[in-house]
Amino acid sequence: MARKKSKKLLEDYMQTHGMDENAPRGPSSLEQVWGNDGTTRYNTLDPDVYAARLADMNRADLQREARKRSIVPIEDAKRLKDRLMKEFRLYVGSLTMPPVNKKEKKEIPADVLKTLREGQ
């Protein structure tokens, strides 16, 4: 008898892009090299903290936050929260640069170098 294949849902996968989320990241701007960690704009870089802060806001506070972030304030609070979270994620993403993998320098064999020199 044939075995049934189990379907994995998209939610079961932790990463879809193949990058290591927990790898140390280098600075991506000159301000970060000088010591600015980027927390001055939102007072945090943690999405959960910012989401909790948005959840505690009423509609007037959400609209004030949107104007502060140069977003057109709309009446629908859910859409406004989603838009503010999207802008927050974009900001945090702009501050984090993927780690650079330094490759080891490999020695080129002498016969390969000889073949390459023949083409000059």
- Give bridge partners of residue 27 from the DSSP assignment: 96
Q: Confidence band (pLDDT; 50, 70, 90) for 105? A: confident
pTM higher than 0.85: no
Alpha-carbon distance 9 to 120, whole Å? 55
Alpha-carbon distance 70 to 8, whole Å? 40
Which tokens belong to 82? 């989603």
What pLDDT is attached to residue 114?
87
